[in-house]
Amino acid sequence: MIYEERLTLSHSKSADNYLAYCKTDLWPRLRAEGGQPVCLLSGLIGDPTNQYLQMTAFGDLRTWEETQIAIPPSPPDLVESETVRLLRPIASRPKPVVPLEDRRAVYGCRRFFIDPANLDDFVNSSQNGIWARVESQGACILGLWSTVATTHPMEILLLTGYHSPTRWEETRVTSSQQAEVDQALKQQASPTKRPPRRHLPADLGPADAGA
């Protein structure tokens, strides 16, 4: 699998129209060409609400390339700027299909920059350590990706779902809620926190995954 990360800034007065375009035009075309929308997130804390992060899965690079030819660019009357790049999954998440019980209302978007030589250790400490602690508190890891091209340092993208911004705060190692976490899980290191993004309505996000 290969994933497209699309960062979009809509015109401030066109946010609703942009969402309608994604739901009624872009996503059906993506599915018809073999793409699978994973999530569409908007800024909540720190980022403007008309800034979007969209993740789409493709079976391989050829499928993604064919999709770029078949689907025209986003309408300029709706979009102020847009960037696209390819990512590869590097851990057990994302799942092939995001089940209903894994979906959350808000998502934390974190980017890490590491030495490529430390990738295996980073992935291991994430999926076999830190993830267990935060998921014991109701969070759910959506996915962990790196850029397709190997760079130095290597950029890592992590998306984690939470039921609310309050529940996101409770998973921080400095939160008083940590007293209720299993002691063995608390020994795991915690990544630097990054403000969450709002998950758009279910029919625009992971609720559509695999449909």
pLDDT tens-digit series, residues 134-189: 999 999 999 999 999 889 999 999 999 999 988 888 887 554 454 554 444 445 54
What are the residue boundaries of the structural domains of the chain, listed by start?
Answer: 2-86, 100-198
Per 3-state DSSP, what percentage of the chain is helix, strand, and coil (rounded to 5)? Answer: 35, 30, 35
If you average pLDDT over residues 84-94, what whole number do you get?
96
Question: pLDDT tens across 94-146, in order?
Answer: 998 889 999 999 999 999 999 999 999 999 999 998 899 899 999 999 999 99
Domain 2-86 indexed as CATH 1.20.1440.230: no
Is the alpha carbon torsion for 71, 76, 82, 83 positive or negative? positive
For 1, 11, 67, 71, 112, the CA distances from 64, given in Å and listed in that order, are 10, 26, 5, 11, 25
The predicted pLDDT at position 168 comes to: 84
- CATH architecture, domain 100-198: 2-Layer Sandwich (3.30)
Q: Report the C-alpha gap between 42 and 52 in whole angstroms.
A: 4
The predicted pLDDT at position 45 comes to: 84
Q: Report the C-alpha gap between 44 and 88 in whole angstroms.
A: 26
The predicted pLDDT at position 171 comes to: 83
Question: pLDDT tens across 10-26, in order?
Answer: 999 999 999 999 999 99
Task: Look at residue 199 and tell me whether its pLDDT is greater than 50.
Answer: yes
Can you list the positions of beta strands (E) in 44-105?
51-58, 79-89
